[in-house]
């Protein structure tokens, strides 16, 4: 791959990151330069490669030609999960008596 091709690929990746995280191109570049965007290359269960990006509580998976967003749990779901996981006093068997 020559320099021109590499530049085009990096430009496309930065554009996808900006789109996935709802950032302008300037915001994307500044966040990447400041190391504020976490990026990790992964392979899914079907063997497809993608890049996971995270920034200020938002995250997405960037595939070739597609962006998949990580579902955000609302606050009520988070509380329910805490109760079930224990020891949120909601049925974990710790003997607290709350939630029974």
* Confidence at residue 72, expressed as pLDDT on a 0 to 100 scale: 63
Residues of 20-31 as b/e, b for ≥16 C-beta within 10 angstroms?
A: bbebeeeebeeb
Token pair in block for residue 24: 């302008």
- pTM equals 0.66
**Contact assessment for residue 55 and residue 21, using Cβ atoms and an 8 Å cutoff:** yes
Helix (H) or strand (E) holding 10: helix 3-21
What are the backbone dihedrals phi and psi of residue 83, each rounded to the nearest 5 degrees, phi first? -65, -45
**What parts of the chain have a pLDDT lower than 70?**
72-100
* Confidence at residue 61, expressed as pLDDT on a 0 to 100 scale: 96
């Amino acid at each position: 791959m020559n320099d021109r091709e590499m530049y085009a690929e990096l430009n496309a990746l930065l554009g996808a990151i900006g789109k996935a995280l709802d950032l302008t191109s300037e915001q994307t570049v500044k966040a990447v330069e400041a190391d504020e965007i976490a990026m990790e290359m992964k392979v899914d269960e079907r063997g497809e490669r993608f890049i996971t990006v995270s920034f200020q509580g938002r995250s997405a998976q960037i595939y070739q030609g597609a962006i998949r967003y990580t579902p955000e749990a609302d606050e009520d779901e988070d509380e329910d999960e805490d109760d079930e996981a224990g020891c949120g006093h909601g049925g974990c068997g710790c003997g607290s008596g709350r939630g029974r």
